Amino acid sequence: MENNYDDDFIGEIVVNEVNFVRKCISAESSQDDLWGKLICTNFKVSFIPQDAPSKQKSKLSHLLLGEHDIPLTCLEQVVTVNDTKGKKKVLGSNQKLKFNPTELILYCKDLRIIRFCFDEAGPESAKKVCLAIAHYSHPADIQLLFGFEYQGRRYHESKGERVNGSTPRGGLQTPIFDRPSDWDREIKRTGASEWRVCAINENYAISQSLPEYIVVPVSLADQDLKQYSIFYTDQRIPLWCWNHVNGSALVRMANINDPLQQKKIDQRVFTAITKSHPQRGEVVRSDLDKCLPNIQDIQSAFVKIRQICVIDPFEESEERWLTSVENSRWLEFVRAFLKHSAEMVYYLDGKNSSVVLQEGEDRDLSCVVSSLVQLMLDPHYRSLVGFQSLVQKEWVMAGHRFLDRCNHLKKNDKEESPLFMLFLDCVWQMMNQYPAAFEFTETYLTVLSDSMWIPLFSTFLFNSPKQRAQYLMDFAKNKAIPQGEDQVVYFPPVWNWSQQLSTKDQTLFNNPMYVGKGAACVQNGEVKTFRRTKKTYSSTMRGTSASQRNGLKGGEEPLPRRGSLLSELKPDFSPVKDESPIERFFRDWFSRPADQQGVLIPLLLPSHVALWKLFFLRWVPEACIPKGGPITAYHKLSQLVDEIEILQSKLRQYKGPSSGSTPLPSPSAPLPDQRRMYFKASSPSDSPTPPDYLSSSFPFTPVGNLCRRGIHGTPISKFLNGARIWLSTETLANDTV
């Protein structure tokens, strides 16, 4: 096959291409459309515009994918259309097409919809490209996913760069939990002294879906566990997730198939868990299958919310928007998972009880609930590395079927379900409610969700650690990678973000408001350093908000005697008489100022759960607010934090290495490329106005990513050009008295 493709990278082969293709940019007219070449490779669908576009500063530039590229794994549906014949066909692999397509519409898993027109292209080559795209996006086997080709080549080509042929996990900070030491560290970190790492599943001898190393109660011997394992679905014996400081543990397990054995084994296991609790706290079991929506419900909710957000004509879905959102049930499910997780927090934190999450296979709903519970209880998981280790521990290693749930091979639609996406949405809800509690931003969550559809990382490709090990062993054999080489080195996880983004772009992951350990803050006007002592931080972070003040400010009054309208309304009204313990726990928690570094419980009324606009609406041009959106506040905050960090580093230089009261650990001034903030402090000469390219979709751009036909320009769509600039009002403003 000829390879005249410009930007290809190692292992990429052009399968088919067609020239004089028009990529539709605007729904209203074709004058902005781009002309160019449409290419199908073994990795992606690519469009190369004839005229190189001016480099836009406005968006994330991906290191592996160009602006017009779509990885084949990201394709949801390939639709060909013949306008004149009024025909339309959804293409699968190895199919025939009886008409010449005039149009190709690609529905993507990241919610983009992209349209190409073939009015000037050769009909035969257009057809061939369409068929190639459809075929290559339905790989017959997982080994045909491009990652296998790519990582094999990359391994060999970069071999020379490695010192002594070994890169210890590429400097990866995120624990992978594929070795006992990672679990050991987690046991120590959480103080779970009555739990131990158990190796009975080494070489997957017991269970096909559990990791090789698991954590179990000290009082259970390997022999016992082996004996119990035969009764659990897929031999999944109970799996320790996390320990509370008070000694209660979070455990997950599969169902026991044999009802006769169930009581006996349950009793033994629960006794062992109780023994591992310093106060012998009781064990609470939560049967997730009984109280949460199932994976089909979740899939159908996601399909509906996607339908109204990006597929239905914009104007039509404007009517009764909230009702449609409600009918999709997506937010209802998000709430249900958050609510259930918050209840588990009550047992662990409020009642000192250990919690056992039980689910048929323990590989779907459990992943969501166990990781949410840990996010609420443990601030470590709200740091970037901590969050990634959480995903690694509760999803990848716990055997979430990423291959099936993502439907990477498009083999079985019934198995498809966006559980991980649901989890990310729940995380976003918490982030939206506690903007200072997370080290990372919603941009990070969105980029992470997009990474599911790039088949170059081992994280989201497999159903279980065993499957991963097996495929990667075969792969190593095929690619002549020496035995004993670490899989993480030759088929890396997604966590090394420099694989995808520049250092500068990665700073978009940093939340300027994050109050981590070691970060400086202000208390009573004094600069202090955060220490991770529980419940000490009670400044004004969660002060009474406007709504409670009757519209007037309470508290310290600069002006006296305005008593008549002032109110000192506390967040809670009268205690309800027949309140359950769990309600009281929540009420007590909400009546205290929230400690961003302590337990965090989300607000759970429907009015508190919002649609994640960056994720769901970023590709919809009609829904993009030019110069607006939360990013404009982020912009201002980032600049401020950058300025503070420059000042802090200056201070350190003046002081020299001081007594340990330095607010930040890094010893020298941040070099420009080491600065944490994407938006740098502005100099006095800069205009303070946010840059023109900011929009509610930033750092993504909806332009050309979604072109539906039959949309008539709404009056407001004409305004998409956004804010315009006047030149001469300044003089007028100066005349103002």
Binding residues for other proteins restricted to 449-508, rule: CB under 8 A: none
Stretch that binds other proteins, among 43-51, 164-172, 320-328, 415-423 (CB under 8 A): 320-328
Pick the closer one to other proteins by CB: 236 or 675.
Answer: 675
728 binding other proteins? (CB under 8 A): yes
Pairing of strands 354-358, 283-287: parallel
Footprint (CB under 8 A) of other proteins, residues 33-52: none
Separation between Cα atoms, residue 614 and residue 624, nearest integer Å = 10
Candidates 56, 539, 666, 674; binder of other proteins (CB under 8 A) is 539
Stretch that binds other proteins, among 181-189, 275-283, 404-412, 427-435 (CB under 8 A): 427-435
Stretch that binds other proteins, among 64-72, 173-181, 327-335, 403-411 (CB under 8 A): 327-335
Question: Helix 419-433 vs helix 330-345: angle between axes, to the nearest 10 degrees?
Answer: 70
Over the window 263 to 302, marking each residue x when it contacts other proteins by CB under 8 A and - when it does not, the resulting string is: ----------------------------------------
603 binding other proteins? (CB under 8 A): yes
Stretch that binds other proteins, among 13-21, 88-96, 480-488, 727-735 (CB under 8 A): 727-735
Candidates 35, 99, 590, 693; binder of other proteins (CB under 8 A) is 590
User: How is the beta sheet containing 249-253 ordered, strand by strand?
Assistant: 239-243, 249-253, 354-358, 283-287
Over the window 625 to 644, marking each residue x when it contacts other proteins by CB under 8 A and - when it does not, the resulting string is: xxxxxx-xx-xxx--xx-xx
Over the window 370 to 409, marking each residue x when it contacts other proteins by CB under 8 A and - when it does not, the resulting string is: ----------------------------------------
Pick the closer one to other proteins by CB: 53 or 665.
Answer: 665
Element housing 180 (H / E)? helix 180-190
Candidates 158, 258, 569, 712; binder of other proteins (CB under 8 A) is 569
Pick the closer one to other proteins by CB: 453 or 586.
Answer: 586
Pick the closer one to other proteins by CB: 383 or 548.
Answer: 548
Q: Which tokens in the block code for residue 176?
A: 């992978």
Q: Which tokens in the block code for residue 367?
A: 């992943």
Q: Which tokens in the block code for residue 52?
A: 């190189």
- Cβ of residue 385: shortest distance to other proteins, in angstroms? 22
Stretch that binds other proteins, among 106-114, 281-289, 481-489, 603-611 (CB under 8 A): 603-611
Instruction: Give the DSSP letter string of 220-236.
Output: S-HHHHHHHHTTBGGG-
Separation between Cα atoms, residue 346 and residue 147, nearest integer Å = 43
Separation between Cα atoms, residue 9 and residue 3, nearest integer Å = 11
510: phi then psi, degrees, rounded to nearest 5: -85, 125
163 binding other proteins? (CB under 8 A): no
Q: How many CB atoms lie within 10 A of CB 376?
A: 23
CB 333 within 8 A of CB 301: yes
Start-to-end C-alpha separation, the chain: 74
- Cβ of residue 621: shortest distance to other proteins, in angstroms? 11
- Cβ of residue 199: shortest distance to other proteins, in angstroms? 44
Candidates 55, 96, 290, 561; binder of other proteins (CB under 8 A) is 561
Candidates 55, 98, 290, 724; binder of other proteins (CB under 8 A) is 724
Candidates 57, 98, 290, 718; binder of other proteins (CB under 8 A) is 718
CB environment 484-517: b (16+ within 10 A), e (fewer): eebbbbbbbbbbbbebbbeeebbbbbbbbbbbbe
184 binding other proteins? (CB under 8 A): no
- Cβ of residue 373: shortest distance to other proteins, in angstroms? 21
Separation between Cα atoms, residue 238 and residue 251, nearest integer Å = 6
545 binding other proteins? (CB under 8 A): yes
- Cβ of residue 289: shortest distance to other proteins, in angstroms? 22
Please, how many CA atoms are within 13 Å of residue 113, restricted to the half-sphere of its CB?
Answer: 20
Residues facing residue 56 across a β-bridge? none
Amino acid identity, residue 73?
A: T
Pick the closer one to other proteins by CB: 279 or 307.
Answer: 307
Separation between Cα atoms, residue 197 and residue 175, nearest integer Å = 15
> Is the N-terminal amide bond of 101 cis, ω within 30° of 0?
no
Stretch that binds other proteins, among 150-158, 441-449, 467-475, 556-564 (CB under 8 A): 556-564
Q: How many CB atoms lie within 10 A of CB 37?
A: 19
Pick the closer one to other proteins by CB: 269 or 309.
Answer: 309
Candidates 86, 660, 665, 688; binder of other proteins (CB under 8 A) is 688
Pick the closer one to other proteins by CB: 469 or 520.
Answer: 520
Pick the closer one to other proteins by CB: 498 or 689.
Answer: 689
Who contacts 642 (Cβ-Cβ below 8 Å, separation ≥6)?
A: 675, 676, 677, 679, 680, 681
Q: Which tokens in the block code for residue 137?
A: 């996006």
Pairing of strands 14-23, 113-117: antiparallel
| DSSP three-state, residue 564 | helix
CB-based contacts of 716-719 (< 8 A; 24+ apart in sequence): 716/622, 717/28, 717/621, 717/622
Angle at 423 between CA 418 and CA 429, to 5 degrees: 125
- Cβ of residue 678: shortest distance to other proteins, in angstroms? 16
Stretch that binds other proteins, among 95-103, 126-134, 482-490, 682-690 (CB under 8 A): 682-690
Separation between Cα atoms, residue 350 and residue 281, nearest integer Å = 12
Q: Which tokens in the block code for residue 688?
A: 């303070």
Over the window 231 to 270, marking each residue x when it contacts other proteins by CB under 8 A and - when it does not, the resulting string is: ----------------------------------------
| DSSP three-state, residue 16 | strand
Radius of gyration of the CA atoms of the chain, in A: 28
338: left (phi over 0), alpha (psi -120 to 50) or beta: alpha
580 binding other proteins? (CB under 8 A): no
176 binding other proteins? (CB under 8 A): no
649 binding other proteins? (CB under 8 A): yes
**How many chain residues are in contact with other proteins, going by CB under 8 A?**
123
CB 402 within 8 A of CB 421: no
Pick the closer one to other proteins by CB: 358 or 648.
Answer: 648
Candidates 161, 322, 659, 685; binder of other proteins (CB under 8 A) is 322
Separation between Cα atoms, residue 700 and residue 505, nearest integer Å = 12
Separation between Cα atoms, residue 530 and residue 69, nearest integer Å = 44
Q: How many CB atoms lie within 10 A of CB 546?
A: 9
Which residue, among 239, 251, 263, 241, has the nearest Cα to 353 in the 3D structure? 251
Footprint (CB under 8 A) of other proteins, residues 517-536: 520-522, 525-527
Footprint (CB under 8 A) of other proteins, residues 93-132: none
723 binding other proteins? (CB under 8 A): yes
Stretch that binds other proteins, among 79-87, 219-227, 384-392, 559-567 (CB under 8 A): 559-567
Q: What is the DSSP letter of 619?
A: T
Pick the closer one to other proteins by CB: 144 or 625.
Answer: 625
CB-based contacts of 557-565 (< 8 A; 24+ apart in sequence): none
Stretch that binds other proteins, among 123-131, 266-274, 478-486, 711-719 (CB under 8 A): 711-719
Pick the closer one to other proteins by CB: 141 or 735.
Answer: 735
Stretch that binds other proteins, among 194-202, 242-250, 393-401, 665-673 (CB under 8 A): 665-673
- Cβ of residue 344: shortest distance to other proteins, in angstroms? 20
Pick the closer one to other proteins by CB: 53 or 558.
Answer: 558
725 binding other proteins? (CB under 8 A): yes
